[in-house]
Amino acid sequence: MEQTKLTHTGHPRGNGAALRRLAAIVESSNDAIIGKALDGMIESWNHAAEKLYGYKASEVIGRPISLLLPSGSDDEQPELLSRIGAGERIEAYETIHARKDGQCINISLTISPIMDEDGHIMGVATIARDLTLQKRAEEILRKRSSMEATALLAGGVAHDLNNLMAAVLGNAELLALEFHDRPRTLDSLDVILTSAQMAGRLAHELLAYARGGRHQSIAINPNDVVQQILGIQKSAHRLSISLKQHLAPDILNVEADPTQMNQMLHNLTMNAIEAIDGSGEITITTQNMDVDSLFAETHTGLKPGPHVVLSVSDTGCGMTADVLSHVFKPFFSTKTPGRGLGLAAVYGIVKNHSGYIAAESSAGAGACFTVYLPATDRTPDKIPGAPVAVLGGCETILVVDDEAQILMVNRRILEASGYHVLTARDGADAVRVASEFSGDIHLVVLDMAMPVMDGAQAFTLLKRLRPACKVIISSGYDLNDSVRLLLDEGADAYLQKPFRLTDLTQEVRRLLDAKSERSGMDA
């Protein structure tokens, strides 16, 4: 194959066919190929370079290569040209260049010396490849991996915290029953109860971020959630802050957990209130949007189709670019004091509902958080009301939990309500008790995460041994896929730790009464 040589003027020398082939190869390449002199002046510029940088060849030929450097950046060209002048070939050199429109792009350069027919270096050939999309994808993956690792940690911490608070809450309520005639003691116990419930709310925020599984979703109207939260906030925020709403009258419904939707909007509104120093304005907006495939591709997690868009904007202090990049990370807060869980919980709730959240802000110019949620054509469901207080009973209940304190508290609570209580420290122990106890077992309170045999394995064996008994699943995690599967397979209810004394006794009584009514109907 004939080798193409270069003359001292920088132009290829050889037969006409070889020159045309070389020119065609350079011009058709998908990579930007740039020829320059040893002083850095651009001598050639192919079509791919025009596409990459936005300059036509006539605009750059004869101008220095430093034209492509971002404003204010260090000029790296002298060092690179010096290395080329020494005969070095530079490969995969990553840097930042600027397009004609000012946009900065990530570039990988391969820089080679151009030799004349006598072997002297008389020019430089540069191949530039655009790494911008690759770098963005790597950054998204890095952030996602970091968020997922943190979410896993947060979920584990929340589970353990819920278990601890279940023991604190239960013992405090038992003491309140015992010392009901001692006001000073009750005051102290009230502080313990309040603190335990605050810790439980903290754990719920951690779980919301960790996305350990949402509660049972129903069809709800987003405008109803806004009205409910505004009703709460109007009595709580400063008079100097104006709350406004622009709600689409034809807003579509969404399938969501009403409690988590309330928490999401409450956290966003509280964040806006705290961002306003003095007087200001908060605006909540709802609208419908048909998400197309292009929008879905650039908003991770969204799928094409009808969506509801809910935004909360404020005229507060705003955020710098650095703060904005960390705004959804747990334990990150610019407030003193601040737990840094409010917006992290919002992020988890939105992701858990197959949605997307975006934040826009700049220092001194307020902020806007926009949430995209998939719409549904289902009509809104009725939100369940609060349970009615009920009495205890005399049935036999099996309580299964590997935490000794929780086991003891639940046993004492149920015994105080008149029930006969059996206990087991893990799933295998529960199966043993169920097979050896000679009387009826009317209901089982079954923990999920246990050693030896977990709740899911024990459930199947317990229902085989005692098919008529009711089962309440209990866990320090949110209602996740494992619990959902058990509910689908016949478990009767779910209680998330830490729960109040009345939550347990009411749910037990409700299920036992439903069982009695069913037995009467069958008879």
- Which residue bears the tokens 């939260």? 229
Instruction: Enumerate residues 6+ apart whose C-beta is below 8 A from 218.
Output: 255, 256, 257, 258, 380, 381, 383
The reported pLDDT for the residue numbered 50 is 92
- Give the chain's domains with CATH numbers: 5-130 (3.30.450.20), 219-385 (3.30.565.10), 396-522 (3.40.50.2300)
The reported pLDDT for the residue numbered 420 is 93
The reported pLDDT for the residue numbered 385 is 45
The reported pLDDT for the residue numbered 75 is 72
CA dist., res. 292 & res. 496, Å (int): 38
The reported pLDDT for the residue numbered 331 is 63
Strand 241-247 relative to strand 280-291: parallel, antiparallel, unpaired?
Answer: parallel
Q: How many CB atoms lie within 10 A of CB 7?
A: 11
CA dist., res. 446 & res. 456, Å (int): 9
The reported pLDDT for the residue numbered 148 is 62
SS (H, E, C) 25-55: HHHHCCCEEEEECCCCEEEEECHHHHHHHCC
The reported pLDDT for the residue numbered 198 is 65
291 close to 302: Cβ distance less than 8 angstroms: yes
Burial class (CB in 10 A: 0-12, 13-18, 19+), 82: exposed
The DSSP 8-state label assigned to residue 337 in this structure reads S
The reported pLDDT for the residue numbered 145 is 60
Reading the block at residue 425, the tokens are 């420290």
Cis peptide before 113 (omega within 30 of 0): no
Question: Of 376, 382, 371, 378, which Cα lies nearest the Cα of 286?
Answer: 371
Amino acid at 431: V
- Which residue bears the tokens 């936005």? 54
CA dist., res. 225 & res. 286, Å (int): 11
Q: Consecutive sets of 10 residues in the chain, 523 residues long: mean pLDDT of each? A: 37 57 77 89 91 92 89 77 85 90 90 84 89 77 61 61 72 76 78 70 61 65 85 63 90 86 85 85 93 85 91 90 79 57 79 88 89 90 48 86 85 86 94 94 92 91 94 80 86 84 86 67 44
- Which residue bears the tokens 């036992």? 512
